[in-house]
């Protein structure tokens, strides 16, 4: 890397360093507060004032009843925008460096593209494509360019050529037995998958980082106790516990997210703890401390950024696990049947696989590609964000 520009020390962000009082907020925090507070107010209004049946946005127009999961999702999206996306713009030089490193991994770039499609589709898709609706008459419509024997469909939307019902652009990926449009189902499933991914990630990262740093800085028997607790969390059979909770209390998507996130942060906590311990021995932390930095500042400015690459990689590799678990539960008929997730679609088409394979194949492939993309991305991020790993490979 001889062509790389040398590091520059002549530009110091004094505002960032001198910002010591808590009310002197960065632009990111101001943005976060300015958007999260109205959200909180709407949520409180929805919870306390509006009665159960009235959709949240009815006074304004659209009949979208915002649920608990939706509020959490919007909140995590705001966090993502202000603390991950915005800093990338604020620091273009570093962003360019990451991008250059990242770009070398072709599959990862493709993966990122696919995940961007899922992300955009999940957030904006539901506003343009209405939720799939039951209509028994138009069940088993084949995907466009394909055809199915006429006897399987009661009403063919497209043309009938030689006893074969042809697919139409009206249902680009066909319909299920109940006449639900598969494409619309997949787009709405993207929202569910994004919700699962974002909310669990936020919970896991918050709990893991807090637990890890507290454990490392507390030391002694507190540390020992906390790490033993992590052992228990890690050896917990999450899926079984979820089945038990589901059996006794019943569970929707919110409960699923909560239970799976509650048992997934163990690895992150362990990693952050060991990183905090090793980094607190470094010279620059000592210098930092002598200059009067508080423990919070050391953790926030040095421990977390140094551990970030591994945390992000770990989280990227955790998300597919959650998506898979949701799909598995939905497939078993134990998921939240009120949500149009990919797993629900797969399980809906399972009995018709022999003549209507698109119902299973389309969402199954989307699920497969998404999990694959997360894995490639995790692999590439590990290389891009961690200069030490690269040095070892070279």
Partner 1 sequence: MGFGRYVTARVLWAGVVSLIITTITFLLVSAAPNPSVQEAATQAALQGGDPAEAAERARELRGLDQPLYVRYMDFIESVYTFDWGWSRSRSQPVTEALGQGLYYTAQYSVPWTVLTVLIGPLVGVYSAANMYSWKDHAATGFAFFGYAIPNFFFGIILLLIFGVWLEVIPVVYNTDVAVFSAQNAVQLSIPVFVLVTGSIGGIMRVSRNESAEFQNAEFMKTAKAKGVSPIRAYAYHVMRPTLVPLSTTLVGQLLALFLGSSLLVEVVFGIPGIGRVTYNALIAQDTNLLLGSTLAFTFIAVIGNLLEDLVFTVLDPRISYDDR
Q: Which residues bind partner 1 (CB under 8 A)?
A: 228, 231-232, 234-237, 239-241, 243-249, 320, 324-325, 327-328, 331-332, 334, 346, 350, 353-354, 357, 360-361, 364, 367-368, 371-372, 375-376
Q: Which two structure tokens, joined as six digits, stand for 4?
A: 């790389």
Q: How far apart are CA 170 and CA 173, in angstroms?
A: 9
Continuous segment of H or E residues that includes residue 166: strand 164-166
Q: How far is the CB of 327 from partner 1 (least distance, A)?
A: 6
Q: Which is nearer to partner 1, 82 or 376 (CB)?
A: 376
Q: How far apart are CA 69 and CA 196, in angstroms?
A: 9
Cα angle value 347/351/355 (rounded, 5°): 120
Q: How far is the CB of 255 from partner 1 (least distance, A)?
A: 13
Q: Which is nearer to partner 1, 107 or 126 (CB)?
A: 107
How would you class 254 by CB atoms within 10 Å of its CB: exposed for 0-12, middle for 13-18, buried for 19 or more? middle
Q: Which is nearer to partner 1, 239 or 277 (CB)?
A: 239
Q: How far apart are CA 77 and CA 370, in angstroms?
A: 19
Residue 328 sits at φ, ψ, to 5 deg, of: -60, -45
Continuous segment of H or E residues that includes residue 148: strand 147-149
Q: How many CB atoms lie within 10 A of CB 234?
A: 15
Q: First-to-last CA distance in the chain? A: 11
Q: How far is the CB of 236 from partner 1 (least distance, A)?
A: 7
Q: Which is nearer to partner 1, 79 or 366 (CB)?
A: 366
Q: How far is the CB of 176 from partner 1 (least distance, A)?
A: 15
Q: Which is nearer to partner 1, 57 or 369 (CB)?
A: 369
Q: How far is the CB of 151 from partner 1 (least distance, A)?
A: 18
Q: Which is nearer to partner 1, 80 or 229 (CB)?
A: 229
Q: Which is nearer to partner 1, 107 or 172 (CB)?
A: 107
Residue 147 sits at φ, ψ, to 5 deg, of: -145, 160
Q: How far is the CB of 140 from partner 1 (least distance, A)?
A: 17
| Coil, strand or helix at 271 | helix
Q: Which two structure tokens, joined as six digits, stand for 166?
A: 């042809």
Q: How far is the CB of 333 from partner 1 (least distance, A)?
A: 8
Q: Which is nearer to partner 1, 299 or 329 (CB)?
A: 329
From residue 73, alpha-carbon distances to 28, 172, 197, 289 in Å are 19, 29, 9, 37
Strand partners, 165: 148, 160
Q: How far is the CB of 221 from partner 1 (least distance, A)?
A: 16
């Amino acid at each position: 890397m001889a062509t790389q520009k040398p590091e520059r020390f002549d530009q110091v962000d004094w505002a960032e360093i001198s910002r010591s009082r808590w009310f002197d907020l960065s632009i990111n925090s101001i943005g976060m507060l300015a958007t999260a507070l109205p959200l909180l107010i709407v949520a409180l209004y929805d919870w306390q004032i509006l009665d159960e049946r009235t959709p949240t946005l009815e006074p304004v127009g659209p009949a979208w009843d915002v649920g608990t999961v939706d509020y959490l999702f919007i909140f995590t999206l705001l966090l993502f925008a202000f603390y991950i996306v915005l800093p990338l713009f604020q620091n273009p030089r570093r962003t360019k460096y990451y991008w250059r490193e990242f770009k070398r991994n072709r599959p990862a770039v493709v993966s990122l593209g696919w995940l961007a499609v899922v992300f955009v589709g999940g957030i904006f898709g539901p506003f343009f494509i209405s939720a799939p609706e039951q209509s028994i008459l138009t069940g088993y419509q084949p995907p466009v360019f394909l055809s199915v024997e006429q006897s399987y469909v009661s009403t063919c939307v497209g043309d009938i050529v030689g006893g074969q019902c042809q697919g139409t652009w009206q249902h680009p990926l066909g319909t299920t037995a109940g006449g639900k449009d598969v494409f619309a189902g997949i787009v709405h499933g993207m929202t569910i998958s994004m919700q699962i991914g974002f909310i669990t990630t936020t919970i896991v990262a918050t709990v893991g980082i807090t637990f890890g740093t507290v454990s490392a800085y507390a030391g002694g028997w507190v540390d020992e106790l906390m790490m033993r607790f992590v052992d228990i969390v890690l050896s917990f059979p999450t899926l079984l516990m979820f089945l038990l909770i589901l059996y006794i209390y019943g569970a929707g998507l919110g409960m699923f997210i909560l239970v799976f996130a509650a048992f997934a942060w163990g690895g992150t906590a362990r990693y952050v703890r060991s990183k905090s311990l090793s980094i607190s021995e470094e010279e620059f932390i000592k210098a930092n401390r002598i200059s009067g930095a508080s423990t919070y500042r050391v953790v926030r400015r040095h421990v977390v950024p140094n551990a970030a690459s591994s945390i992000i990689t770990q989280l990227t590799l955790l998300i597919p696990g959650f998506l898979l678990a949701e799909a598995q539960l939905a497939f078993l008929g134990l998921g939240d049947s009120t949500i149009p997730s990919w797993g629900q679609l797969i399980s809906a088409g399972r009995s018709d696989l022999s003549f209507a394979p698109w119902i299973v194949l389309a969402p199954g492939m989307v699920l497969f590609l998404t999990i694959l993309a997360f894995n490639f991305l995790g692999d590439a991020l590990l290389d891009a964000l961690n200069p030490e790993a690269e040095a070892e490979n070279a």
